[in-house]
Amino acid sequence: MTLAHLRRQLLLPACLYLLSAICNAQQVVVDTGHTTEKPGAIGPAGKREFDLNRQLAIALVKALRAKGVSVTDVAAAGSPASLQARTKDSSGAALFISIHHDSMQQAWLDAGRSREFSGYALFVSASKPYYGRSLDCAKDISRNMLAIGEHPSLYHATPIPGENRPLIDRTLGIHRFDDLVVLKTAESPALLMEIGVLANPDEEARLATRQFAERAADAIASGIRQCLPAPQ
């Protein structure tokens, strides 16, 4: 074996590792919340949360790729069996984002209060080492949602059992939620986003349209693009 050949053998793993690190710095993992078997919230008119989550996630993947961002679509080959499985591809990624649509506590629904809240909500974990970058991305996403005329829902900050999530930024609708499994297990900056309040009968039809999904996805993608580290 020549010295030059030996050097190439030693350098190749290092080069591949460096290339992987550079690629991961621009990699976004998009998770479709819930599964076909356990679809999450059901709207008053019967729309399933999973179906809306998947529609939005597909639009977001497309919008991110159009902006030059590399994307891993967690539900592309079927939803993973566990919450932990959703984050397995997040190691070294620039961001993990889980897409959801909101319900309300059953007591509120039973009391006819489903129209009291509308809008989106963002959640990050302050207990993770990636908190700063996660929060930056949540802020950029929220600002872009505001720019297209959407508004935050502060429902999850209401002081009732099962909610009462601390607000990090009231204007931008960003909450702290350290116990969300996908935020706890992600090995990257991570956030969970409730796109809108599916439980609100005035919002359900709008949230289900492809036009809304594409518009919201483009705003979210723009926010993500802004918060990603600059390519080297």
The domain tally of the chain equals 1
β-bridge mates for residue 167, sequence order: 175
pLDDT (tens digit per residue) in 158-193: 999 889 999 999 999 999 999 999 999 999 999 999
Residue 63 in domain: yes
Residue type, 116: E
pLDDT-based confidence at residue 11 (cuts at 50, 70, 90): very low
Q: What is the mean pLDDT of residues 126-141?
A: 96
Assess whether pLDDT exceeds 80 at residue 5: no
Residue 96 in domain: yes
pLDDT (tens digit per residue) in 202-216: 999 999 999 999 999
CATH of the domain at 130: 3.40.630.40
Assess whether pLDDT exceeds 60 at residue 10: no
- Nearest CA to 127 among 82, 179, 66? 179
| Alpha-carbon span 54 to 99, nearest angstrom | 8
pLDDT-based confidence at residue 4 (cuts at 50, 70, 90): very low
Token couple for 210? 């492809």
Residue 192 in domain: yes
Residue 31 in domain: yes
Sole residue written with tokens 């919230």 = 41
β-bridge mates for residue 123, sequence order: 175, 192
Ramachandran angles phi, psi of 50, nearest 5°: -55, -40
Residue 222 in domain: yes
Domain that holds residue 96: 27-227
Residue 177 in domain: yes
Q: Residue 168: what pLDDT? A: 98
